[in-house]
A and B are shown apart, each in its own frame.
Chain A
């Protein structure tokens, strides 16, 4: 981590939905940017650099979209950097933007991430099969479902845990006006009655396909002091190969290493008692208990018990995804930055109806690829070291 302090001084996002046919990609990004700039009380002249994140170019069929979006991103004449780490890219975008301030290179950086899934079909884009291979791939769900099955077998979790997570996140989403899915009446039983897509993952345990964008303004200490700010206490990123002999696909080492580095940097020794709220990348419901363990919130094999006990609901010991999370909105490239922005909104006290009372320390988390990229940050209502 760089020597300088950095803080989020504004966040913005779109109303996520299946098809935003009334705007271009540029217009979509600008909705989030304009809200973040207004939230931060900044103008274009204040922005020194822009970082853009989005997932594979095949999703929109635009190579290097940062170039044609430069006007909309206000990047003319400024450093513009594109980040790409698959589904975790929104998180990585936040980390890269933070590093530009922490290193003292820039004072105020705009981080933007988006996906306009309606321009193509992500299931198709993630299932392109090169020659010589057995064409059994079936999108992200097909990739992750076997590993969810492994988690269930390894932990001995009962089958309804996934449904508990899905019902909880969707009900949280109904408290968030920006969430794609608004399902206040969903129940564990209705989730369990939904169609089995990639056994053991059911339809209601699966993220939607969304158009949407997110933006945050990250500023240096001089800019942030004396105004509402979510101080960045720690950032971490780790990567590992998609496959190697003996790889733990359920709880990857890269995720454990990223978490260990994060907690150390943030001065957190007991995450479950020191973190007030967590926005964790959960595109399929079972990943909540899986990541709770991987992040060190619980012992291995115990994550599902924490979920089952209701501890991850708003009002529990560690509310997870009060925004509704990826299960309620999934503009893929933006989803990680949304986790980061929602964490900041919580410690800023600006989360509206899904605000966790007294949230002072929050985690933002994203993962991508075949669970091989991990991006994390911890933000707090007070400066690092002030606790």
Chain B
């Protein structure tokens, strides 16, 4: 066992969802206007015209209702050059983020200016909207702003029912890193071994191992190889399908307590009807073919009943 490396394992974790935003009356009007090539601001309690329109007054918090259309040209109030644009930004070649005070507005709108080079950017310069090729009713209907000396791009406005929703795709790209102890356990799995750790203070055996005992707060170093059989402590039958689900329902999600362990983990039980799964049922791991093994608990495809008599409730009631 000491041959197993403790170098932390890591793997990508990608999370993404197309969020559906309801805009409400103020932002809905702003988005509807953009599609038609107009830009709506709103008048605040202090008389200022706020662009984009605020739903609630930044000074008094009162609801705002007086819309004011502003111009499609304006002045750069301040800017910052982006030499290497990121995916998802308005332009994929170098551009400036700028606060643009549109004619008739009292606040700056943050957007991209397509100036070609930072030499052509200056505070106080005038810019105009370049509309997107296919307006849909979103802030992206403004493709970007451009200096006035650039030849205007002819783009047709869109039409349709008032815009009430926008879809916002969000993608998070993580590198998930396991702890050194969990990494040893995962490398053990890759060799078909189940490696836990025992707490020196309370003697409880944890699998996966954690490196410290959550009850005693002391380091755990004493490794123990556990057998691949145990009991079902409790379980549920998942009948409900959902987005992102990786196992086809119905399936039995069960807490499996390996023999010699003091904490169960969740796994799948197959090999009998879902209605036959019982608390206390003895089960054994069904491993996938060895050539499919990796550093994951998924090396165990599922657990199956062994057919031995069930464990008495008293023997596992403290694990519920």
Instruction: Decide if A and B touch, CB cutoff 8 A.
Output: yes
Q: Which residues of A are interface residues toward B (Cβ below 8 A)?
A: 19-24, 26-27, 30, 44, 58, 60-61, 71-74, 76, 116, 118-121, 123-125, 127-139, 141-142, 145-150, 153-154, 195-201, 241, 243-246, 248-250
- A125 CA to B19 CA in the complex, in Å? 11
The chain A residue sitting closest to B168, CB to CB, is A61
State the B residues within 8 Å of A (CB): 9-13, 15, 17, 19-27, 54-61, 63, 164-165, 168, 170, 176, 178, 182, 186, 202, 204-206, 214-215, 233-240, 242-247, 251, 253-255, 262-263, 265-268, 274, 279, 295-298, 300, 313, 317-320
Residues in B whose Cβ lies below 8 Å from that of A243: 214, 263
B297, A132: Cβ atoms closer than 8 Å? yes
A22 CA to B279 CA, complexed, in Å: 48
Shortest beta-carbon distance, A205 to chain B, in Å?
13
Known: A71-B56, A71-B58, A245-B202. A135 touches B11 (CB 8 A): no
Q: How far is the CA of A121 from the CA of B265 in the complex (A)?
A: 26
| Min C-beta distance of A28 to chain B, whole Å | 8
- Closest chain B residue to A141, Cβ basis: B240
Q: In the complex, what's the smallest C-beta–C-beta distance from B29 to chain A, in angstroms?
A: 12
A148 → chain B, closest Cβ, in Å? 8
In the complex, chain A residues whose CB is within 8 Å of the CB of B10: 131
User: Would B17 and A121 count as touching, CB distance under 8 A?
Assistant: yes
Closest 10 A/B residue pairs (Cβ): A145-B236, A74-B61, A199-B237, A24-B24, A131-B11, A245-B204, A245-B262, A150-B320, A244-B214, A61-B19
Determine the chain A residues whose CB is within 8 A of the CB of B297 once the complex forms.
132-134
Nearest CB of chain A from residue B265's CB, rounded to whole Å = 8
Given contacts A71-B54, A127-B245, whether A136 and B279 have CB atoms under 8 Å apart is: no
In the complex, which residues of chain A have a beta carbon less than 8 angstroms from the beta carbon of B15? 58, 128
Pairwise interchain contact A130-B13, C-beta atoms closer than 8 A: yes
Q: A198-B237, A246-B318 are in contact. List 11 more A-B contacts (CB 8 A).
A: A30-B56, A71-B61, A74-B56, A118-B22, A119-B22, A127-B242, A135-B247, A135-B298, A138-B242, A142-B253, A146-B235
Instruction: Say yes or no: B56 contacts A198, CB within 8 Å.
Output: no
- Interface centre among A120, A198, A199, by most B CB within 10 Å? A199
A134-B298 contact given A146-B254, A147-B320, CB 8 Å threshold: yes
Can you identify 18 A-B contacts, CB atoms within 8 angstroms? A21-B22, A23-B22, A23-B24, A27-B24, A71-B56, A119-B21, A121-B242, A121-B243, A123-B242, A125-B17, A128-B13, A136-B266, A138-B238, A139-B242, A141-B240, A142-B238, A147-B320, A244-B214
**From B294, which residue of chain A is reached at the shortest CB distance?**
A132
In the complex, how many angstroms separate the beta carbon of B182 from the nearest chain A beta carbon?
A: 7
CA distance A198 to B266 in the complex (A): 15
Contact partners of A133 in chain B: CB under 8 A: 296-297
Residue of A nearest to B204 (CB): A245
How far does the alpha carbon of A200 sit from the alpha carbon of B13 in the complex, in Å?
32
Contact among A20, A60, A148, A198 with B240 in the assembled complex (CB-CB below 8 Å): A198
Residues of A within 8 A of B244 (CB): 124, 127-128
Q: Which residues of B contact A201 (CB under 8 A)?
A: 236
- List residues of chain B with CB within 8 A of the CB of A26: 24, 55-56
B43 to chain A, nearest CB (A): 15
Q: B17, A241: Cβ atoms under 8 Å? A: no
Query: In the complex, what distance in Å separates the CA atom of A248 from the CA atom of B263?
Result: 11
Determine which of B9, B21, B238, B262 lies in contact with A198 in the assembled complex, contact meaning CB atoms within 8 Å.
Answer: B238
User: In the assembly, what is the distance between CA of A154 and CA of B319, in Å?
Assistant: 12
Q: Would A147 and B206 count as touching, CB distance under 8 A?
A: no
Q: How far is the CA of A133 from the CA of B247 in the complex (A)?
A: 13
Chain A residues positioned under 8 Å from B240 (CB to CB): 123, 138-139, 141, 197-198
Nearest Cβ distance between residue B297 and chain A, in whole angstroms?
Answer: 5
- Cβ of A183 to closest chain B Cβ, rounded Å: 20
Which residues of the other chain, B, contact A135 by a CB distance below 8 angstroms? Answer: 246-247, 298
